[in-house]
Amino acid sequence: MTRLRAYVALTKPRIIELLLITTLPTMFVASHGLPRLWLAAATLAGGTASAGGANTLNCYLDRDIDARMRRTRRRPLPAAAVSPGEVLTFGLALVAASTCWLWLTVNWLSAVLALGACAFYILGYTLVLKRRSAQNVVWGGIAGCMPVLIGWTAVTGRLALAPFALFGVVFFWTPPHTWALAMRFRDDYAAAGVPMLPVVAGEREVASRILWYAWLTIACSLLVWPAGRPALLAYLATAAILGVLFLREAYRLRDRVRSGGTGVALRPMRLFHWSNAYLALLFLAVALSPLLR
């Protein structure tokens, strides 16, 4: 692993993609159409650096866990591609630079929200919740919801009730998405001493909770009110179809558990991958809805 690739890997680009998927569409809704190009570019650049810094610091703090898990032992720190001191410096620099960038090019509120998301992810989730609570991804997922508010405030300069429906979509989507992955890598999490729900609870309970959170995700998605009547109908139809498909995968997982399936036979990664597609397609519908007025 080259040093450049190591530094990029520390930022966890695939996680950043998910965060940006929720930021830009929210800016479309807040703008009632296309946001200003410079503002969108500045917000996405600052959000990328902010999330990258938080993910890098997560790698620094979780290096002991990553070294014990097969899924993560090839990450830059366990692989000794970079030193812990270098990772800490890089992560702090990204967080500081992104906060200053957002403050100077977007507005102070977006900068504060981004910094707060970093602090909560690093201190609240990584240091406390992840290692001590089976509800870690439920409450820790708040950090992943913040890009919705950052995108809204970047356009409007203030918080409002409107973006909190989208906040709720991401909040309730996060547990089933993450628990599906944790079901696949349960032994890894158990070996590392991380109390993910599939480690501390039976598969029936996990599948049941995934189903409940899937229903809550869909309920929140139907509360989103895009700008304009035609856009509302198109959005609701899209959200309903995507919701049915999401629920179908959640019910399939539950049925496999009830029929006595275990481990890989449950095919939890099918739900995991579909949940990624669900979020991306739903927020694409959110972005297009103001353009259909």
Using DSSP's 3-state secondary structure scheme, residue 123 falls into helix
Supply the CATH classification number for the domain 161-293. 1.20.120
Nearest to 28 by CA among 36, 38, 20: 36
Distances (CA, A) of 277 to 135, 144, 248: 24, 17, 14
Overall average pLDDT of the 179-207 stretch: 93
Token pair 């739900």 is found at 271
Tell whether the model's pLDDT for residue 263 goes beyond 80. Answer: no
Dihedral sign for Cα 172, 149, 136, 52, please. positive
Q: Which CATH class is domain 1-155?
A: mainly alpha
Task: Give the pLDDT score at 229.
Answer: 54
Residue ranges per structural domain of the chain: 1-155, 161-293
Q: Looking at 78-170, which runs of residues are DSSP E strands?
A: none
pLDDT computed for residue 232 by the predictor: 75
d(CA 51, CA 95): 8
Please tell me the predicted confidence (pLDDT) of residue 161. Answer: 84
pLDDT tens-digit series, residues 195-239: 999 999 999 999 999 999 999 999 999 988 765 555 678 889 999
pLDDT in tens, 86-111: 999 999 999 999 999 999 999 999 99
* pLDDT value of position 135: 93
Residue 130 C-alpha from the chain's centroid: 15
Same topology for domains 1-155 and 161-293, yes or no? no
Question: How far, in Å, CA of 117 to CA of 256, rounded?
Answer: 36
The pLDDT value given to residue 262: 63
Contact of 53 with 59, CB cutoff 8 Å = no
Per-residue pLDDT at 228: 52
